[in-house]
Structure 1
Amino acid sequence: MLNSNVFLFSTCVLIWGSTWIAITFQTGETPVMVSVALRFAIAAVLLGIWCKIRSISLRIAPGQHKYLFAAGVFLYCMDYSFLYAAEQHMISALLAVLSSSVIYFNVVLRRIILGKAIRLEVIIGATIGLLGIALIFAPEFEKMSLTEGISLGLLFATASFLSAAFGNITSERILDRQTGVIPMNFWAMSYGVACTSLIALFSGMEFSLPDQPSYYYSLVYLSVFGSVLAFGSYMKLLKQIGSDKAAYVVLVYPVVALIISTFFEAYLWTQYSIVGVVFVIIGNAVAMGKANRLLSRWTD
């Protein structure tokens, strides 16, 4: 189980650490919600084909569909629509730091909605990790200018992370009922696509697509890797360790994004960023309960 969790966690971190760059190619000419709908429509179709090939049943108990609809709206409609919009109004460094709030939202909502205990190690680990992320991106904040758009960006970001938290808690509830991860994602993504498309349609958005090949390359990558593989791994991880611990992924994948940036964008590491990475690693150990086990081994 431990090895499985490590593999699932690593898959999410490595893939989502690279999707930050891919998302930047999705904003611009095409309306945000159209890009989101296309991304998850492709992912849902791929999941449906996979289920057909592997003879995986997509039948879900009728009573579960209202929760699948909620998960789809929160995770695959509102979360990413707001996230894409936020990226148009603020630097990715600030967005990466703010994304850590998902963990705190998850902890509180998990207690209120699911009645599950608040795990102190998750709170402490998340706080240590948040400090690490702040140190890593400290130089970027010096370049940030407070424009009118930043307020709108903060609003979009907060809405995105709150939506993600509600989606995570709803997903955990569905998975607690022994629903399969792949059928759950198929239905949730399908509901999310339907909701996003309807909002875009009734809002008068044009379903126009750009001419740049980079848009389509990034769309395929986000659909296959960022949605099918990463979300499949994340939901499996959420099922096994809970939405509070699984959410720590959001504090680790910005580090992967920086490593990628080192090779492709000549990112220069500083003392702050190195110390920040150490804090993120320590925070992860605390949140996952590994710190206590290591300490007990030392003292034995």
Structure 2
Amino acid sequence: MSTPHDTPSPAATLSPLLILCLAATWLVWGSTYLAIKFALISFPPFFQMGTRFLLAGVLLLAWMRLRGRAMPTGRQWLHATVVGGLMLGGGMGGTAYAEQTVGSGLVVAFIAVVPLMIAAVNLLWRVYPTRLEAAGIAVGLCGVLMLTQGAGFQASPAGLAAIAIACATWSVGSVLSQRSLPLAHGATGFASEMICGGVLLLALSAIAGEAPAWPPAPEAAAAWAYLVVFGSLIAFNAYMVLLARAPAALASSYTFVNPVIAMLLGVAIAGEQISGFEWAAAGVVLAGVVLLLFGLARRPRAPDSATSPAAVSGQPQEERP
């Protein structure tokens, strides 16, 4: 899941293309949580996510094949099944499940802890945080504990459990994809991950007996299409450009921008109720993420190192819806 990343010049950082790419990762990914909420009107959580990722993965893989890229090997498909099952089956499936009973803004505020969880999982590989990174982890976890005490999560223990499992499986899958289960190179690997994750989600949908409403409500159909086109394809490509041409800290800035965007949209459009205490808790979580990313940016890097979005921010290159 790594993409070679050369240090760009300051001029490149401010180019119009990179500004558009930043807008995509900030605004589009920040809005996908609200889109999930609207899609739930007609599409149950596992069905919604399964069809979304399966279609996006097939389209992306077809595009890569038209460009002459090789298909993943059998072993790479196996890796994609495990990683896709953890990150998309558990991560995104759990996220959509949680949004049935918890506001989208609170869900994404909780998800902001993923980079901190990834740093913790990396301890199993003896990758130890610096003092600044450790401080970020501690601050972020304090914010999550505060968040769980707010009215939104207190009213839905099932939603809290679902989002906690989603963050844990996403974090484990992110680390495994780098450490021991590498995918096919570049976008082909992410396409295989989306296809395998989508198939698993549809299997979970069948086991759960989910049945989408047909015909779907117009707003649900529009939200689902938005997730496929903008969330999984356009924003994905924008993030790939950022990884290749922008500093890692800038590319991963969506990590602390998305929660703010999602919470504001949830309140303004969906009428979600977020208390002052929950806003404060989200601020503490984001402060921890900023400390962690700042600590990561100060780590020395080998000349031939690569930047992985999962390593930097806990989000794969295809999406963090």
TM-score by length of 1: 0.73
CA 1:110/1:98 → structure 2, altered by over 3 Å: closer, same or farther?
same
**1:220 aligned residue:** 225
**1:87 aligned residue:** 99
**2:129 aligned residue:** 118
**1:189 aligned residue:** 194
For 1:119 and 1:19, how far apart are their aligned partners in 2? 33
Pick the aligned partner of 1:170 from 170, 176, 187: 176
Q: Is the 8 A contact 2:177 2:183 kept in 1?
A: no
For 1:245 and 1:162, how far apart are their aligned partners in 2? 25
Deviation, 1:24, is 0.9
- Which deviates more from structure 2 when the two are superposed, residues 250-259 or residues 66-75? 250-259
Are residues 1:27 and 2:47 paired? Answer: no
CA 1:53/1:145 → structure 2, altered by over 3 Å: closer, same or farther?
closer
Deviation, 1:195, is 1.2
**2:77 aligned residue:** 65
Deviation, 1:185, is 0.9
CA 1:249/1:127 → structure 2, altered by over 3 Å: closer, same or farther?
farther
**Residue identity opposite 1:34 in structure 2:** F
**1:39 aligned residue:** 52
Pick the aligned partner of 1:256 from 261, 284, 309: 261
**1:101 aligned residue:** 113
- Matched position secondary structure for 1:157: helix
> Per residue, is there more helix in 1 or in 2?
1
Deviation, 1:63, is 2.9
CA 1:210/1:170 → structure 2, altered by over 3 Å: closer, same or farther?
farther
Q: What are structure 1's unaligned runs of at least 5 residues?
A: 294-300
CA 1:115/1:132 → structure 2, altered by over 3 Å: closer, same or farther?
closer
Are residues 1:14 and 2:27 paired? Answer: yes
For residues 38-87 of structure 1, what are the alpha-carbon distances to aligned partners after superposition, in whole Å with 9 as ceiling and x for unaligned? 11122112202321332222x23433332211111112222111111111
CA 1:122/1:30 → structure 2, altered by over 3 Å: closer, same or farther?
same
For 2:285 and 2:205, how far apart are their aligned partners in 1? 41
Residue-pair matches, total: 284
- 1:127-138 alignment to 2 at 5 Å? none
Are residues 1:161 and 2:174 paired? Answer: no
Q: Is the 8 A contact 1:99 1:161 kept in 2?
A: yes
Deviation, 1:262, is 7.7
Deviation, 1:258, is 4.2
For 2:94 and 2:298, how far apart are their aligned partners in 1? 37
Deviation, 1:125, is 3.7
Deviation, 1:257, is 2.5
Are residues 1:288 and 2:294 paired? Answer: yes
**Residue identity opposite 1:86 in structure 2:** A
**Residue identity opposite 1:189 in structure 2:** M
Q: CA RMSD in A?
A: 4.4
Pick the aligned partner of 2:216 from 188, 211, 225: 211
For 2:141 and 2:74, how far apart are their aligned partners in 1? 40
For 1:5 and 1:132, how far apart are their aligned partners in 2? 31
CA 1:153/1:260 → structure 2, altered by over 3 Å: closer, same or farther?
closer
CA 1:72/1:104 → structure 2, altered by over 3 Å: closer, same or farther?
same
Q: Is the 8 A contact 2:95 2:162 kept in 1?
A: yes
**Residue identity opposite 2:85 in structure 1:** V
TM-score by length of 2: 0.69
Q: Is the 8 A contact 1:126 1:284 kept in 2?
A: no
CA 1:174/1:14 → structure 2, altered by over 3 Å: closer, same or farther?
farther
- Matched position secondary structure for 1:288: helix
Q: Is the 8 A contact 2:133 2:296 kept in 1?
A: no
CA 1:134/1:228 → structure 2, altered by over 3 Å: closer, same or farther?
farther
**1:199 aligned residue:** 204
Q: Is the 8 A contact 1:99 1:250 kept in 2?
A: no
**1:298 aligned residue:** none
Q: What are structure 2's unaligned runs of at least 5 residues?
A: 1-5, 300-321
- Matched position secondary structure for 2:211: coil
**Residue identity opposite 1:191 in structure 2:** C
- Matched position secondary structure for 2:39: coil
For 1:212 and 1:26, how far apart are their aligned partners in 2? 9
